[in-house]
Chain A
Amino acid sequence: MDDAMDCTNARLQISALLDGDLPAPSLNAHLSSCAACSRALARGRALGASLAALPVSRPGPAFDAAILAALAAAPRRSPTPRFVRSAAWASALWTAASFWAASRLIGEAPGPASFTARAGVLLGRACADAHMAAVLAGLFAPSPRAGGEFLAASLLAAVLFFTIALPSRPHTRTIGARS
């Protein structure tokens, strides 16, 4: 079985070994009898060590200044003040909370309700839950881009609520109204 490994296969295995894979038992057997492949393994290791030891060069002294000047001339974006962003997220959270509470006020009509009406209530609540979850996730998103994606998801949930769930609701309880 071990003799089945020829030098070409052994070189492939040696490369895999140098990339951190475990050596196949047949490779060890081959190496013990093949000086050329043993040398290839030694050379591969020496090559890796030599590449790892290559010196790190430094760019010229004006390198940093050129980049920082270019950034200052055309900034990535005008950073939004922290209080503006905080206020924006607070309002998003307040809207989501109101939206969620409103969805709970959608009650079922007295008497037997149709399947569509029940589904409308459930879908409305699910949309409100998804909206709230997306806003909360956006608040704790690791990057502004991820935050934007969560905000888009919350808008989608709101659109679903108003276009599908709300029109099919059977009855909306208004605050102060008697049933």
Chain B
Amino acid sequence: MPATPPTDAELARRCLDGGADGYALLLERHKGRVYSFLLRLVGDAADAEDLAQTAFLKAFRSLDSYDPSRPFLSWLFGIAHHAGLDFLRARRPRELALDDADAPLDLPDESSGPEAEVESALQAELVERLLRSLPAPYREVLLLRHAEDMSVEQAAAVLSLPVGTVKVRLFRAREMMRARWESVSGEKKFETRKDRRP
């Protein structure tokens, strides 16, 4: 019978007890997701790698404060989120503006998008571009909720925000994404019920 792989909490415990292999295993297990999250948050591979290293080092050096009754990855994402936001605050504060709904959209000119297929999933490249056009606070709630499959409550814990604030950000982020998607595919942005009635 194959041995069960150690949980994150067990690996963290191992690190605290002086076992160096615990760090390597935690790194191998989570570096892709943390790096991907930061890459989509800051938009640059070199910056994302630096930030991911900062986040892992900070996490490993403060393992004492990790509560093993909580998911390790949520705790780690909380540290990565703060690292990413500190970076953006220092380098690109405009990306943190929550009312930046009319930011220019960096979209390709060709009309090869999934215009007519409402039900179909978007192409990954188009999703990345739409995501990049959002202010960072909206981008990260969408990433945590959908790319990381966290509940609203988990995302709120990662971002240190009230659940209600996260719900509002998710709503606004979806509306922005939808509006931009429709602008790419040339559809009407918003159709009210009143408009449809004779």
A: residues with CB less than 8 A from B are 6-7, 11-12, 15-16, 18-20, 30, 33-36, 39-40, 42-44, 46-60, 63-64, 66-68, 70-72, 76, 79, 82, 142-145
CB–CB B24/A56 < 8 A? no
Residues from chain B with a CB closer than 8 A to the CB of A66 are 53
Given contacts A6-B192, A19-B167, A143-B67, 4 further A-B contacts (CB under 8 A): A36-B191, A56-B36, A76-B63, A143-B65
CB–CB A11/B171 < 8 A? yes
CB–CB A67/B53 < 8 A? yes
Closest residue of B by beta carbon distance from A13: B171
CB–CB A59/B57 < 8 A? no
CB–CB B147/A51 < 8 A? yes
The dominant DSSP class at the A interface is helix
- Within B44-62, the residues touching A (CB, 8 Å) are 45, 48-49, 52-53, 56-57, 60-62
**Most-contacted residue by chain A among B39, B49, B62 (CB, 10 A):** B49
Alpha-carbon separation in the docked complex, A63 to B118 (Å): 40
Residues from chain A with a CB closer than 8 A to the CB of B18 are 79
Alpha-carbon separation in the docked complex, A72 to B57 (Å): 11
CB–CB B178/A58 < 8 A? no
Partner of B151, one of A20, A35, A44, A46: A20
Alpha-carbon separation in the docked complex, A77 to B190 (Å): 57
Whether B23 sits at the interface, judged by CB under 8 Å, is: yes
Residues from chain A with a CB closer than 8 A to the CB of B69 are 142
Alpha-carbon separation in the docked complex, A68 to B190 (Å): 51
Q: Which 4 A-B pairs have the closest CB atoms?
A: A79-B18, A51-B146, A36-B191, A15-B171
CB–CB A64/B27 < 8 A? yes
CB–CB A47/B149 < 8 A? no
Alpha-carbon separation in the docked complex, A7 to B194 (Å): 9
Q: A15-B174, A46-B119 are in contact. Are A34 and B196 (CB under 8 A)?
A: yes
Closest residue of B by beta carbon distance from A5: B193
CB–CB B147/A7 < 8 A? no
CB–CB A143/B39 < 8 A? no
Q: Mark B55-90, 1 if CB is under 8 A from A, else 0.
A: 011001111111111000000000000000000000
CB–CB A52/B146 < 8 A? yes
- Within B140-182, the residues touching A (CB, 8 Å) are 142-143, 145-147, 149, 151-152, 167, 170-171, 174-175, 177-178, 181
Whether B3 sits at the interface, judged by CB under 8 Å, is: no
